[in-house]
Amino acid sequence: MSAAELARCGGTPVLTPQQVNAGIGSWPEVLPDDIDAVVEVLKSSHEPWGFMHPMVRGFQRTYGEFVERSHCLAVATGTAALHVAVAASGAEAGDEVITPALGFVASATCVLHHNCIPVFADVDPRTFNIDPEDVRRRITPRTRAIIAVDLL
Ligand SMILES: Cc1ncc(COP(=O)(O)O)c(C=O)c1O
């Protein structure tokens, strides 16, 4: 899909207003099975966070297969996942990480959590996603990672 086809740019919305009002497509989608699984982990786990629970390990294995990766680590929030990604990039304290100037606050705080320096790149006004040309301008010898957010 090109940016010109996005609904916010005048393209046809994927959902009708009636579907939106009925809650279809709402985010995050939490289904009854999801709630049951979380409750089961909480009730049967020997530690309070449950990351060693067989169901969590099974989720990591299944999701890793789904995205065709040999390693998968489940975390509790998107913010934690972003921090893990910054750490996995090999960035060290004082390194620069380029992140979109528009987005959710965690796109920048995950960099700070790792004692790195967020460098804000502008976004494309059509898509609201990070502008590759502005990213190129901001790359320095201290740049260790680029956070590309598919915001909308
Ligand atoms: C683009 C984006 N990144 C990161 C996050 C952080 O997720 P969480 O609230 O689970 O920490 C959000 C949450 O809405 C988000 O929209």
Kindly report, residue by residue over 86-113, the tens digit of the pLDDT. 999 999 999 999 999 999 999 999 999 9
Q: Which two tokens stand for residue 128?
A: 């609201």
Q: Which of 111, 91, 89, 87 is nearest to 101 (CA)?
A: 111
Looking at the chain, the whole-number percentage of residues with pLDDT higher than 70 is 96
Stretch 48-75: mean pLDDT? 89
Residue-averaged pLDDT of the chain: 90
Strands 117-121 and 143-146 come out as unpaired
Distance 139 CA to ligand 1 centre (A): 25
**Residue to substitute in 77, 104, 130 for testing ligand 1 pocket (most ligand atoms within 8 angstroms of CB):** 104
**Residue to substitute in 26, 27, 75, 79 for testing ligand 1 pocket (most ligand atoms within 8 angstroms of CB):** 79
Distance 27 CA to ligand 1 centre (A): 11
- Other Cβ atoms less than 10 A from the Cβ of 115: the count is 12
